[in-house]
Amino acid sequence: MGKRGLNKRAQLTLFVIFGVLIVVGIFALFMILPKPEILGGSSSKDPMQNIRPCISKSLQEVLPEFQETGLYFTPVEYVNYSSQTIAYHCFTTHKEKICVRNDAQSKTRIEEELKNKISEKVEKCFENFRNANSGFDIKMGSTDLSLEILPGKINIRTRKSLEISKEGEISSGYNNFDVFLNSDLWDFIVLSNEIINEEVSCNCPRESCTADLVELMKSNRDYKMTIYIGSRSEKVYTIENFINGNKLNFAVKNCFRTI
């Protein structure tokens, strides 16, 4: 091989070496440069990682009580059962009259009551985030909070402008903190409504006004349904999910046979 060939190989080798050195230099420079203060990842200053789970937890903490006491936090008409206050969904003071149903199965009413219950907790989520990042200038707008009950889940819509900066330089801006929570609440509303429909459509007082739970369970095999009848003919229905153990209790005081 001639000198010209050797020179070309030597030049090519030098180019390769220079190229590798440039890449290594860029990588080293990237590693030593300071990282942005507020971006995603596992940083405690990431509001999506901190605030969203807190919002979800605010509903998780109150939902079991809400369901087990009959879809009201402070019911007007209720019965004491198994050391719990269970809300009436249909009530009458007359032995031989059909009960009058209330707004227990109203999806709009339930969404509003849950929203009002967790609103203070949601605000606390944002305040806790601010306190945990006191070294930053955090500006927050007003909170727009709403809930929507859907099959298998509850959507929690939270809109709040949040601007994070340090030393006058804006690092991040956010306004959407929406989350969803897996839930049986939709099914509980539908099934309790079916039970009440049967209660109010019976032939009073010629028959006992009690829903046929066996037939309902045949078409809703994921749920177990039971009934307790007290000494004053008050009834407490329980609907329980076989898989996760979530349950709904509610009470009925309806027409009953006196013979």
Residue 39 lies in a domain: no
CA 89/CA 192 separation, integer angstroms: 9
Residues 120 and 170 in one domain: yes
170 vs 38, residue with greater confidence: 170
Residue 41 lies in a domain: no
From the list 182, 185, 183, the residue with the least C-alpha distance to 193 is: 185
Residues 229 and 144 in one domain: no
CA 113/CA 259 separation, integer angstroms: 41
89 vs 169, residue with greater confidence: 89
Residue 42 lies in a domain: no
**pLDDT beyond 90 at 127:** yes
pLDDT band at 135 (very low <50, low <70, confident <90, very high): confident
The pTM is what? Answer: 0.79
Q: Parallel, antiparallel, or unpaired: how do β-strands 153-166 and 179-182 relate?
A: antiparallel
Count: domains in the chain: 3
CB-CB contact of 232 with 240 (8 Å): no
Cβ neighbours around 123 below 10 Å, total: 15
**pLDDT beyond 60 at 138:** yes
pLDDT band at 167 (very low <50, low <70, confident <90, very high): confident
Residues 117 and 169 in one domain: yes
User: Could you say which of 160, 182, 204 is where a domain stops?
Assistant: 182
Q: What is the pLDDT of residue 37?
A: 36
Residues 73 and 116 in one domain: no
Q: Parallel, antiparallel, or unpaired: how do β-strands 100-101 and 179-182 relate?
A: unpaired
pLDDT band at 217 (very low <50, low <70, confident <90, very high): very high
Cβ neighbours around 213 below 10 Å, total: 19
Q: What is the pLDDT of residue 206?
A: 82
The percent of residues above 70 in pLDDT, for the chain, comes to 80
CA 169/CA 137 separation, integer angstroms: 10
pLDDT band at 95 (very low <50, low <70, confident <90, very high): confident
Mean pLDDT score of the chain, rounded to an integer? 84
Q: What is the pLDDT of residue 204?
A: 87
Q: For 92-114, what is the mean pLDDT?
A: 94
5 vs 34, residue with greater confidence: 5
Residue 40 lies in a domain: no
3-state helix, strand, coil in the chain (%, to 5): 40, 30, 35
Cβ neighbours around 99 below 10 Å, total: 21
Token readout for 92 is: 């009458």
**pLDDT beyond 50 at 118:** yes
By CB atoms closer than 10 A (0-12, 13-18, 19+), residue 43 is middle
Q: What is the pLDDT of residue 258?
A: 57
Q: Which residues contact 24 (CB under 8 A, 6 or more apart)?
A: none
Domain range for 160: 47-61+111-182
**pLDDT beyond 80 at 2:** no
Residue with the two structure tokens 């879809």: 71
CA 71/CA 112 separation, integer angstroms: 12
pLDDT band at 205 (very low <50, low <70, confident <90, very high): confident
CA 190/CA 224 separation, integer angstroms: 14
Q: What is the pLDDT of residue 6?
A: 43
